[in-house]
Amino acid sequence: MTLLILDDDPDVALAARLALRRLGPVAVRHAPAELPAALDTLSPQVLLLDMNFTPGASDGAAGLALLRDVMARPQPPAVIVMTAYAEVELAVQALKAGAVDFITKPWANERLLASVEAALARQAPVPGDADGLLGESATMQSLRAQIAQVGASEASVLILGENGVGKELVARALHRASPRAAGPLLAVDMGSLPETLVESELFGHRRGSFTDARESRPGRFVAAAGGTLFLDEIGNLPLAQQAKLLAALERREVTPLGSDRPVPVDVRVLAATNVAEAALFDAQRFRPDLLYRLNTVVLRVPPLRERGAADIALLLRHYLAHFAKRPLDLGVEALARLVAYPWPGNVRELRQACERAALLARGPVLSWADFGRPDHPTAADTPPDTGLDLAQREREAVQAALAQVGGNISQAAKLLGVSRAALYRKLDKHGL
C-alpha cells in the first residue's frame, strides 16, 4: 500500500484520494480508532493525517497525539499532517514530533502532489542505524568525521552526490550533530515544486494573495524556525527564484506573498544536488553569489561503486538482515557478482534489491538471480535481437535519459515525456 489518508471529513478525504491516485494505491479511513489496524494491515509508505477530529476543535491536539503514536512504531510511514488552521506553532510541533511536511486545507493539488511525491521518493534510514551512513571505507569514515566537525557549526553546507547515495541522510546527521537538534528539520524537494509555487512554499503567503490562496500559511523558512531547512535538488531552482532565495539568506528574513512586511527567520540552511559540481559554476544555470552563500562547506557523498567491496558486502548483509523474516545466507558466487556490480542507483538500488531478494528468495541461500540485477552480457554473448523485450527497452531508455542529464530526475522525466512520479515508479520497477 502506497498511501493512507485519515480524515473525518469524507469530502476532504475523497478530494485527496482523487488527487493522489495517480501515485499508487490510496486507502481512506475516517476515525482515529481505525488507524492502528490500517497501519498494521496496509503498511502505507505515506500517511496523510488530519489534525482535528472533534467539531469546533482547532488546536491539533488529537492529531499530535496520533502522530506521536505513529512515530513510536518500529517502521512508521512518512507522515504529512493536514489542517485547516495554518498556525506556525502547530506546524512546528508536528515537524518536531516527526512529520515530514504539513498541508493547509484547502490545498492546491500541485502542492499536495509535490509533498507526497517528495515523501515517497525520500528514503528514510533503516531503524536501528546510528546515522544511516553505514560503511567502513576510508571515504565513509572521512565523511562521518566531516559531519561531526561541521555539524556543530552554523555554517551553510552544500551536499553533492549522485541519486541514491544518501544526501538526505547526511543532512539529517548534520542536524542531529548541531545545537539545533531539538528544533525541526524540514526537507523541501525543490525539484518537485512547480515554479509557480516556489515562493509560496519557501516564504509563505497571505490570504487572497493569489488565486486559491483562501487561507494564509507559513512558508518553510518560518515553519523551520529554530531548526534546519534542507533544500534538496537545489540545482533545479530557476534563476529567477534563486535571486529571491539569495535575498532571504542574506537578510535572514522573508516577505510572504501578499504582504509588505518582512518576517525575521532563524534557520540553518543545508542544500543538496545531484548536478555535477562543474555545472554549478555555470552562471547561466546557477547564480555564483547564491552558490557561494550555500557552499561555505561542501560535503561530497561517494557513489557506491567507489566505496569498495567491503562496504557493499556490509550493506548487503545489513539490509538483508533488516528485510528477511528468516535466516538467509549469500552464496559465494552471488556475493562475488554483487560486489562487482556497478550499482548505478547506489545505496537506494542496493536496498531495494535486498528487499526483493528477501521477499522472493527460493531457499535459505541467495543466488544472483534473487536480486533481479541485469547480467550486462558482452556483445559476443548477446544473441541477435529477434524480438522486443519492452521491459528491457524501457529500462535502457530510463538509464540513457538519466545518463544524458547527469542523473537529474526532473530533466530526465521531461526528456522521457513522463511525470516525476511516473519516473520514480519506473526507477523502483527496474531497481535503478
What distance in Å separates the CA atoms of residue 279 and residue 349, rounded to the nearest whole number? 25
CATH hierarchy code of domain 386-429: 1.10.10.60
Question: Is residue 259's pLDDT more than 80?
Answer: yes
The highest-confidence range among 34-38, 92-96, 275-279, 411-415, by mean pLDDT, is 34-38
**Residue 301 contacts by C-beta under 8 Å, 6 or more apart in sequence?**
143, 159, 160, 161, 165, 166, 167, 170
Report the candidate in 334, 229, 231 with the shortest Cα–Cα distance to residue 273.
231
Per-residue pLDDT, 87: 67
Average pLDDT over residues 281-287: 90
Class of the 122-302 domain?
alpha beta
The grid coordinates listed for 233 are 535538488
C-alpha cell at 391: 521491459
In the chain, the amino acid numbered 48 is L
In Å, the largest CA–CA distance within the chain is 72
Tell which wins on pLDDT, 193 or 10: 10
Give the whole-angstrom CA distance, residue 298 versus residue 63: 38
- According to the model, what pLDDT value does residue 377 have? 43
Q: CB of 190 within 8 A of CB of 231?
A: yes
Digit-coded pLDDT (tens) for 306-340? 999 989 999 999 999 888 888 888 888 889 899 99
Q: Read off the pLDDT of residues 374-418 as tens digits, 9 standing for 90 and up.
A: 875 433 333 444 444 567 767 777 877 776 666 777 777 776 767
CATH ID of 305-371, from 1.20.1630.10, 3.40.190.10, 1.10.10.10, 1.10.8.60: 1.10.8.60
Taking the C-alpha atoms of residue 13 and residue 10, their distance in angstroms, rounded to an integer, is 5
Cell of 104: 493547509
Burial grade of 276 (CB within 10 A; 0-12, 13-18, 19 or more): middle
The single residue listed with the C-alpha cell 502547530 is: 90
Q: Does domain 1-110 have CATH number 3.30.470.10?
A: no
217 neighbors 207 (Cβ within 8 angstroms): no
How far apart are the C-alpha atoms of 392 and 377, rounded to whole Å? 13
Hey, do 1-110 and 122-302 end up sharing a CATH topology, with the first three levels equal?
yes
Calpha distance 419→422 (Å, rounded): 5
Per domain, the residue ranges of the chain are 1-110, 122-302, 305-371, 386-429
Look at the block and give the residue holding cell 477530529: 53
Q: What is the pLDDT of residues 71-112, one digit of tens each?
A: 998 889 999 998 876 566 787 788 888 888 888 887 878 878
pLDDT-wise least confident of 44-58, 82-96, 290-304 = 82-96
User: Is residue 56's pLDDT more than 90?
Assistant: no
Say how far apart CA 193 and CA 206 lie, in whole Å.
Answer: 19
pLDDT in tens, 199-211: 888 888 777 777 6
More confident residue, 216 or 388: 216
Confidence of residue 119 (pLDDT cuts 50, 70, 90): confident
Identify the weakest region by mean pLDDT among 24-33, 215-224, 409-418. Answer: 409-418
Q: What is the pTM of this model?
A: 0.69
Please state the rounded mean pLDDT for residues 62-72. Answer: 92
The Cα-based distances of 213 to 106, 107, 208, 258 in angstroms read: 9, 9, 5, 10
